[in-house]
Structure formats: C-alpha cells, structure tokens
Amino acid sequence: MTDPIAPWPGELVSVGSGEVFVRSAPAPGGAEPALFVHGLGGSALNWTDLMDLLRKPPADRPGEPALACEAVDLPGFGFSPPPASGRHTIDAMAESVAALIDRRGRWPVHLAGNSMGGAVCVRLAARRPDLVRTLTLISPALPDLRPRVLSLRLMLLCAPGIGPWMLNGVKSWMTPEARTAGSIAEVYADVRLMHPRRRAEEVAELVRRDSLGYADDVLLAAGRAIIAEYFRGGPRSLWRDAARVTAPTLAIHGSHDRLVRPAMAGHAARAFRGARVVVLPRTGHVAMMERPGLVAKEMRDLFGAARRPAPKVAR
C-alpha cells in the first residue's frame, strides 16, 4: 500500500452572506471545472484521492481533458463556518453551492455529490441546470420508504432532545480513534482499503471538530434536513427534482452500502432521464474514498459520452 498524497490546500470563499472553505487541485490549462460535495459528517477531505486521479489527463485516453477539481466544505462542516442564516436545509446548502459556482465564474461544472451531498446536487441540478454540465451521484441520500438500520438510527439521533444526549454520551466513553473506526466500518465494505495515514487524518479532523462549539448542532440540523426530505412529497420532492435533471447523469451505488440500499439504483435508473446507473461490487457508502479508481473510470466514461454529439434522427 503506497503512501497517499497530502490533502489539497484550500481557502475561504465568500458566497452571499457567508463563507465556505474550498480545496483545489492544480490542473493544466484548458481543464474543465468540477466541483465535489461531501455527505453528512464529511468534508472536502473525502475527495482527495479522486481529485488526484481526475486532475490529470488519463494515460489511456490521449486528448481527453483533465478536470480543474474543487471540493467544498458545506456551511458548518469542515473548515466552513456555520451560515449566518442558521439554515441547514437541503435548499440552503444547494443555494450555497450555486453561489460558489457563480462566484468562481466558470460554468457549467461537472458536479458530483455523495450521500447528503448527492441530495444537494440533485436539487441544484434541477433548479439551476445552467450551472451543471454533468451530474455524478455516489450513494445519494434520496428518499427511501424502506430505510436501513443505520438510517433509522439517524432518525433517532435527530429526535428532539435525544441527539445532544447521545452525542455527548458517545464522546464520554469512546476515544476519537474508536469513534473513527466505528464510522469507517459503517461506510466502507473493506476497512483494509483505508490507508493508516487517511485514518489518522480522519481522527485529527474529528478531534478538531469536537473543539468547535457548533459542530454537533450543525450535524443534527443537517440530519434533520435529510429526514425532512424523506417525508416531503409533491412537486418539490427530491425524486421530482430527479425527473427534472437535464444534465447527463451517473449514479453509483455500492453493493455493500449499509446506509443507502443498493436496490435504490433501480429507482434512480427510472427517475433520471437516460442516466447510467452502476452498482460497484464489494463497495460501501463512500465509493470515491474506498475505490477511487473505479469511480474515476465511470466518471470519465460519463464525460466522454457527454462530449459526443447526439446522433441525428432520420426524418
């Protein structure tokens, strides 16, 4: 197992009335812009290895452009301060990501999101199609009437009065190392695929987050936002948004995902127009971390298909 690269550097970027922290990977001139959005409890660090693969032209595909990759810490997560509005809804997060794309001034972008970030990206792609060139969803947290055990645990955690008590209890009897190990076991199918240095980075980030007075409140508020979307019906539901997406779409699910049922891949295939839907074998909830090479290949196939002109229809 070779040593992984260091996390990409970042900076705070003003978006509307607040700021978000954005990590950027250098790319050659002419690279196409791409933006990555993490899931609940995650950060821009989740995309380090995938960004490294996509920022360089692939050796087996000469002439294919590289990507100018950026990954954002959603408001209140990672190094981003909590939003001044206090809103942690999926709508509010999508507005922040859209404002970042507008601020960067290079669109449309190749947009990718994992879990909660996938829900954010679906909403953005449906409401601001002008900003999105392609859409990649990795185990997106879209409404499921048959949630898994870990999803039900999230609902319990977010119940009024229970969440803070549970989080404080876990901190009092579990070390950061043990909590990190538990989280990795939940989102990886094979925990051996996480390099020890990456594990150490996750522990350090958890310790840093524990020192922030707002971190638990943000986590619980964002968790409640996901649950609210599960019960939202009508024209503003996430599945209705999925049907509105016009960008070429790739949905990646893990065969051993403990949070999002792999069977939801079938629902995604029906909901997104002409989407390519893939279930990766022996993969958990964070495929971009566990199997970045496979994810990069699938994404490059999506980009290549999106660049090809549509076939002419005989009249």
Answer yes or no: is 1 within a domain. Answer: no
* Crossing angle (nearest 10°) for helices 163-173 and 215-230: 130
Counted domains in the chain: 1
Q: 176 lies in a domain? A: yes
> How confident is the model at residue 311, as a pLDDT?
47
**What range does the domain containing 77 cover?**
10-307
pLDDT digits (tens, 9 = 90+) for 164-177: 656 666 677 789 99
The reply to whether 44 falls in a domain is yes
Task: Tell me the pLDDT tens digit for each residue of 137-187.
Answer: 999 999 887 765 555 666 666 666 666 656 666 677 789 999 899 999 999
Q: Is residue 314 part of a domain?
A: no
pLDDT at res. 64: 74
Per the domain annotation, does 2 fall within a domain? Answer: no
CA distance 132 to 239: 18
Q: At 296, list the tokens.
A: 């990069």
Can you give the pLDDT at residue 256? 96
Nearest to 215 by CA among 53, 91, 81: 81
Amino acid (1-letter code) at residue 268: A
Question: In Å, what is the CA distance from 195 to each residue of 24, 201, 221, 242, 290?
Answer: 22, 10, 31, 35, 10
Q: Mark the ranges of the chain whose per-residue pLDDT is less than 70.
A: 1, 62-63, 147-170, 308-315
- 102: amino acid identity, one letter: D
Whether residue 126 lies inside any domain: the answer is yes
The answer as to whether 262 is a domain residue is yes
State the pLDDT at residue 312.
Answer: 46
| Distance between CA atoms of residues 233 and 210, nearest Å | 35
Task: Determine, yes or no, domain membership for 153.
Answer: yes
Q: What is the CATH number of the domain that holds 176?
A: 3.40.50.1820
CA–CA gap between residue 312 and residue 94 (Å, rounded): 35
Whole-number Å distance between alpha carbons of 23 and 308: 30
* Rounded-to-integer distance, Cα 164 and Cα 160, Å: 9
